[in-house]
Structure 1
Amino acid sequence: MTKKNLIVLDIDDTLTKSEDKHTDSLLFAMKHFGITEVNTDWKTYKNATDSYIFSVNYEKTHQKKFDFGFIPEFEKVMTEHFLSYPDTPEIEGAQKMVDFFINETNYGVCFATGSILQPAFLKLQQANINLIPQVLEASNTIFTREDIVKSAIEKAKNYYHTSNFENIISFGDGLWDVTTAKNLDIHFVGVNDKNISDFKKMNIKHHISNWTQFNLNDTEKKLGIK
């Protein structure tokens, strides 16, 4: 099915209530690699992605170069720890809204997350979010948020059989999501209230506390699409 426009979706605390157990699983996997002292102020990192945070702390701890070959074992340990938690709930209204985009609008969807891949799949599956694996990009082989989003968009072009989307709207809960959207010159909508002060500082045009507040026509008007 061809789509004229595209929705780019972050996952943790945008679609699923998963940030805390994600963080715990990330730290658990780093401990498996002998990393016990970790700066958890993610805003201080150049790239807020699991692979980059792992790489920085690996090199700091072991004083040797990080290798992406570590990722499969890291992913396995992180995923197993993530599974020790109860199932992940959705952010209110997320499941219904993703279905709405896919089935009732001219917007396709793709998923762009700083998470490692398998925990990202689990969050969406546990929350019963309509997952299209072909359009999900994670940080297994990519450090930067910008490259993750660009890769997700390219996957969406292939999936929806188009060379270009007329409008792209990114949805996210964090400062890095706003920054990435601005760097890529795409529209942005803030989700969740936990970083609302950052959203205000960045002068975003639209924000929702959860997906029950979302209205497509209202959003398009606020973003200047209509």
Structure 2
Amino acid sequence: MKLIVFDIDGTLTQTNEVDSRCFEEALRVVLGVEEFDTCWENYQFVTDSGVAQEVSQRYRDRPINGAEMTALHEKIVELLKKNPVSAFAEIPGAVDFFQSLVDSEDFAVALATGANELSARYKLETAGIDFEGIPLATSSDAVVREHIMLHAMDRASQKHERAFSEIVYFGDAVWDVNATANLGWQFIGIGGKVLDGFIDYRNSEEILNRLR
């Protein structure tokens, strides 16, 4: 059995823009930092927790504490909820493709995202993606993207009571490509920002051929 692990923002949901905007505003409100680098590629760990830690250290000269991290995650969701449902649309074909893999006996499915758990769940629910019972790992579990992905793998392995013959990660950004390579997993790009991928899931048969 192969394990298929999905990122969320830009991979299953069209939420990169709204997520970044709400994340930036939450950092300003919770950490009290008005100006900071918003080019995420410049950060060591491109996850909610990783960026928050680095912003705090770089611009406040002290680490973020647990209460602030919790407040940050809650503020992000509060801000997300102020946006219309249309801001959380699926990547075309994502809902059906995701469900087809969940229903298949050939694949196990998991989710691994750099977003925090509260925002990840809200975006999936609002986009109409049924993730009930699907192993989920987020930046609430770890700071480093590779560690988040390994958490997802471990939870999927526990659920299915087996190791997997192969692991494939669906992502949309360069940090997804790098993390997948570091783990020795296979990668399939979504959204057109990375090479050798697909714009969306409407050509599902071609994507499935890549997975077989």
Query: In the alignment, residue 11 of structure 1 is paired with which amino acid?
Result: I
**Structure 1: distance between partners of 2:208 and 2:110:** 20
Q: Distance in 1 between matches of 2:97 and 2:141?
A: 29
Q: How many residues are treated as equivalent by the alignment?
A: 208
Q: Is 1:186–2:157 an aligned residue pair? A: no
| Structure 1, gaps ≥5 residues long | 200-205, 221-225
Equivalent residue, structure 1, for 2:52: 54
Q: CA deviation at 1:132?
A: 3.3
Deviation at 1:70, TM superposition (A): 2.2
Asked if structure 2 preserves the Cα contact closer than 8 Å seen for 1:5 and 1:108, the reply is yes
Question: Which residue number in structure 2 is paired with residue 155 of structure 1?
Answer: 155
Amino acid at match of 1:109: V
In the TM superposition, 1:1-150 aligns within 5 A as 4-32=1-29, 33-87=31-85, 88-132=88-132, 135-150=135-150
CA contact 2:3–2:168 (8 Å) conserved in 1: yes
Report deviation, 1:69: 3.8
In the alignment, the residues of structure 1 paired with residue 16 and residue 42 of structure 2 have an alpha-carbon distance, to the nearest angstrom, of 17
Conservation of the 8 A alpha-carbon contact between 1:52 and 1:143: yes
Structure 1 residue 86: deviation in Å? 1.0
Distance 1:54 1:133 in 2: 29
TM-score normalised by the chain length of structure 2: 0.93
RMSD of Structure 2 on Structure 1 (CA): 1.4
Give the Cα separation in 2 of the matches to 1:143 and 1:134. Answer: 21
**In the TM superposition, what is the alpha-carbon distance from 1:217 to its structure 2 partner?**
4.4
1:134 is displaced (CA, Å) by 5.3
Structure 1 residue 60, shift from structure 2 partner: 2.0
Matched, 1:218 2:209: yes
Once the two structures are superposed, residues 57-92 of structure 1 have per-residue CA deviations (whole angstroms, 9 ceiling, x without a partner) of 112222122224422111111110010011211000
Q: Following TM superposition, where does structure 1 have runs of at least 4 consecutive aligned residues deviating by more than 6 angstroms?
A: none
- Cα deviations by residue, 1:118-153 (Å, 9 ceiling, x for unpaired): 111011101111213551111024111100000010
The 2-side partners of 1:107 and 1:41 are apart by 35
Deviation at residue 47 of structure 1 after TM alignment: 1.1
Cα contact 2:109–2:134 (8 A) shared by 1: no
Aligned partner (choices 196, 199, 202) of residue 209 of structure 1: 199
Determine the C-alpha separation between the residues in 1 that align with 2:67 and 2:152: 22
Following superposition, the deviation at residue 105 of structure 1 comes to 4.0
Contact preservation (8 Å) 2:6, 2:112: yes
> Which residue type is aligned with residue 6 of structure 1?
L
1:104 deviation in Å?
2.6
Hey, what's the Cα distance between the residues in 2 that align with 1:132 and 1:157?
17
- CA–CA distance in structure 2, aligned partners of residues 68 and 169 of structure 1: 33
- The whole-number CA distance in structure 1 between the counterparts of 2:22 and 2:200 is 25
Alpha-carbon distance between aligned partners in 2 of 1:48 and 1:133, rounded to the nearest angstrom: 26
1:46 Cα offset (Å): 1.2
Structure 1 counterpart of 2:24, one-letter code: L
Query: Is the contact made by 2:45 and 2:51 (CA closer than 8 Å) also made in structure 1?
Result: yes
Give the Å deviation of 1:158: 1.1
- Distance in 2 between the 1:132 and 1:148 partners? 19
TM-score (norm 1): 0.87
